[in-house]
Amino acid sequence: MKPESKKYADEAFEIIQHAEKEIGSRLPGSDGEKKFADYMAGKLREIGIKPVKEEFAVSPRASIGGIPYAGYAGIILCVASYFARHIPSLWFAMAGLGLLVIIWLISSVFLYSTCFDMFFKREISQNVYGELTPPDGNYDYTIILSGHTDTSWCWKHSEHAFKHRDNEIKGIIATYGKVGFGAVCFFLMAFYSIFMAIVYGSYTVFESEWAYNILSSAGFNVFFNIMLFVPIICAVGCCFVIMWADPDPRNASKGAMDNASGIALSYEVMKYFKENPDKMPPNCRIIDFNCGSEEAGLRGSMAFTEQHKGEPILDNAWNINIDSVADKDYFEVVIKDDWQFTRFDRDLEEMFKETFAELEIESKTGGCIHNPVGGCDSTPMTKAGIKSVTFAAQNPILTYYYHTWRDTSDRFEPETVGTGFDVILGVIDKIAKFQEENGFNGPRK
């Protein structure tokens, strides 16, 4: 960390500690999320920047937060499979339930679609942002510094891996093993139900010969007897899915790393340019964007880009999305959301890599990763035509503190946050130089 950055790093760490200790968990659409958004709005006012608040509706449990519902559906299928052996018409209802949950998992949990949101309880979330413009008010492009204010439900399997924190292999097995087993169990029962519905339906409704041959075969009789025991095992696996996200907000993540660190750094960079106008990139507007409900499926960044579609605020815009800066050995630029099929901007990727090299930052990830699970706010930004990447300093393996109440500030150091501050300033300098030489060329894949 550069000596002149220490002041801002210390202040950023104070914001992180305030979010963790004074506010605590900040689930999407919760009072805690609102308190943190209001707190950051007050911080903007302190430096003379008017905050803008934009509310939007969110269904917190419609995406990743609702994964336990798949576990409950799996339990229902396990129990109902015994009744369906005597009441074959039940297979149709079971197949419908299994198919519906699979479609929901693919569209909402994996792809972050909003099509199922209307069927889940809704809350009000908010985006809060402030603008810093040149003294004459004229600018040619915009740099949006973003972070999300909300935190995640506690992922119990990750938290249970705390006892294996000194053994990475055991920690991975404790987290991925139970979840993977549970997922296999749910899908097994869902496809079993769909298969039985197709076979019985074809036989009873259409009198299909192939269905009769299956039902009367010796192989099917063996299979049917085996399925007397499999649902018992699958019920245990589905219980692991139910345990995935603890619904109790008191156990939710305190979010020091994810993502009070991103919120604090966005604000401190804005404050730095406010206090040092001579360092401000020429003809540039900077926006500090406190984004809501990222953990509910990127709903805040989606709402922001949808609300401002076609407006000047998104014209010629660059986005440095800052998400989790705490692990000093894992500085990286996130260049793709694999689940969202979205590749982020290559120009920004190269700028971050050059800045890491200039600051002599060595990372166990080589300074570059794909987002291993879920998605980040760079996806809606990229889809809106904004040049975006996500900056992080986080172990990409699901560790005991990721999305658990163990995400606390005593786990990392202000020095790491300060290094993140230096990285962002270095990249902004490169954006300014690129803009002067090349103008805005849109997301480059």
Domain boundary among 218, 246, 274: 246
CA angle 125, 261, 427 (to 5 degrees): 110
- Inter-CA distances, 145 with 33, 83, 174, 313, Å: 19, 56, 36, 13
Same domain, residue pair 296 and 420? yes
Same domain, residue pair 169 and 217? yes
Same domain, residue pair 235 and 296? no
Same domain, residue pair 309 and 171? no
pLDDT of residue 160: 87
pLDDT of residue 174: 78
| Residue 117 counted as domain residue | no
| Residue 286 counted as domain residue | yes
| Residue 443 counted as domain residue | no
CA distance 22 to 336: 34
Tens-of-pLDDT digits for all 445 residues of the chain?
Answer: 788 889 999 999 999 999 999 999 999 999 999 999 999 999 999 999 999 999 999 999 999 999 999 999 999 999 999 999 999 999 999 999 999 999 999 999 999 999 999 999 999 999 999 999 998 888 999 999 999 999 999 999 889 889 888 887 888 887 788 889 999 999 999 999 999 999 999 988 888 889 889 999 999 999 999 999 999 999 999 999 999 889 899 999 999 999 999 999 999 999 999 999 999 999 999 999 999 999 999 999 999 999 999 999 999 999 999 999 999 999 999 999 999 999 999 999 999 999 999 999 999 999 999 987 789 999 999 999 999 999 999 998 888 999 999 999 999 999 999 999 999 999 999 999 999 999 998 898 7
CA angle 50, 54, 55 (to 5 degrees): 145
pLDDT of residue 167: 81
Other C-beta atoms closer than 10 Å to the C-beta of 327 total: 22
Domain range for 92: 65-111+161-246
Q: State the burial class of residue 346 (Cβ atoms within 10 Å of its Cβ: 0-12, 13-18, 19+).
A: middle
Same domain, residue pair 165 and 258? no
**Which residue bears the tokens 């007897």?**
225
pLDDT of residue 15: 98
Which CATH number covers residue 346? Answer: 3.40.630.10
Structural contact between residues 335 and 369, judged by C-beta atoms closer than 8 angstroms: yes
DSSP strand E in 303-373: where? 317-325, 331-337, 342-343, 368-371
User: CA 27 from chain center: how many Å?
Assistant: 12
| Residue 116 counted as domain residue | no
Residues forming a β-bridge with 284:
141
Same domain, residue pair 202 and 217? yes
Instruction: Please measure the distance between the N-terminal and C-terminal CA atoms of the chain and give it in whole angstroms.
Output: 31
Note if the bond before 259 is cis, omega within 30 degrees. Answer: yes
Same domain, residue pair 345 and 199? no
CA distance 233 to 137: 66
Structural contact between residues 189 and 74, judged by C-beta atoms closer than 8 angstroms: yes
pLDDT of residue 379: 97
Domain boundary among 210, 226, 246: 246
Number of structural domains (the chain) is 2
- How is residue 210 written in tokens? 């192939």
CA distance 331 to 393: 4
Q: Which residues contact 337 (CB under 8 A, 6 or more apart)?
A: 344, 370, 371, 374, 375, 376, 378, 379
Domain boundary among 211, 246, 281: 246
CA dihedral 226, 232, 237, 243 (to 10 degrees): 160
Residue 409's nearest CA partner among 5, 3, 24, 33 is 24
List phi, psi (to 5°) of 394.
-150, 135
| Residue 444 counted as domain residue | no
pLDDT of residue 207: 84
